[in-house]
Amino acid sequence: MKLEFLTAAALAFALAAVSSGCGKSDPSDKPEPPKPAEASDPNTVTFDNGDLSFAAVIVTDPDCAHGELSVESVQGNNMLKFTDDLSVPQQGKVQKIEIHPAPLIGQENLGKVRRIEFDLYADATAENYENMDGELVQVPGTISCGGGTVTAAKNSKGEDQWYDFAEFSGGEYNFDFSGPVHGEFKFLLAASGQCWDADMEDANFLIMRWGVENDSNLYIDNIVFYDADGNSIPLVSE
């Protein structure tokens, strides 16, 4: 009887210990808040000087989001911020930012550009995103983006030819501000003349975000222009 009692007591203690352990959450399981990416190239447009004169909001189409540009600090890191005024319905809306490279790298260097890289972020300003548990939370959700530009090549009508860059995407489902979503735009058809040249009067490219899933703003940082050899092109203004 005594042995049976001790065995039962030991079993009960072991079960209690397991139950107690299951009730505790491991701090390492909790996601860490995302941090802005640091500039890794000396020729990076960081917005640290507060200049945003080379950027503009595009509102020419009915689906374009309306709002204002500013330079804002996020965790001590300056970024270009597009504040969406939310006047355009979320369904079908596209946030479009236009960047003019000539003031950044010089008119004479436009024809050297073969690749553009940058970091993009999104925030959420309301608890309107429904997660998998059916809860409304303040997160940006899916971040789907792309872009395009006109090139020095002409179409059959003599107009500057439009060039689509590859799409890129990311997401944030735990916090109200996302981590960096890295964008990379390439002139894959540069050999056929579909790229910029020094004679273009208004070379620019669009950064676009669509499929917005919550009340949200857009942020851009760390723009770098690369040549055909993969070298970053020096900035004339930063």
Instruction: Give a three-class secondary structure readout of 177-218.
Output: ECCCEEEEEECCCHHHCCCCCCCCCCCCEEEEEECCCCCCCE
DSSP secondary-structure letter at 12?
H
Confidence (pLDDT) at 17: 45
Domains annotated for the chain, with CATH where assigned, are: 43-226 (2.60.120.260)
Q: What is the mean pLDDT of each run of 10 residues along the chain (238 residues)?
A: 45 45 56 95 97 97 97 97 97 97 98 98 98 97 98 89 96 98 97 94 96 98 98 88
CA angle, residues 217, 219, 225, in degrees to nearest 5: 150
Sheet containing 205-210, strands listed edge to edge, beginning at the edge strand earlier in sequence: 55-57, 94-99, 205-210, 141-154, 160-172
Helix (H) or strand (E) holding 19: helix 2-22
pLDDT of residue 156: 86
In Å, what is the CA distance from 96 to each residue of 26, 82, 117, 133? 42, 9, 17, 32
- Say which DSSP state 50 is in: -
**Helix (H) or strand (E) segment spanning residue 138:** none
Residue with tokens 């009692």: 5
pLDDT at 30: 81
Predicted confidence at residue 11, as pLDDT, reads 46
Write down the pTM of the prediction: 0.87
Q: What is the pLDDT of residue 160?
A: 86
DSSP letter for each residue of 155-173 = -TTSPEEEEEEEEEEEEES
Pairing of strands 115-122, 129-130: unpaired
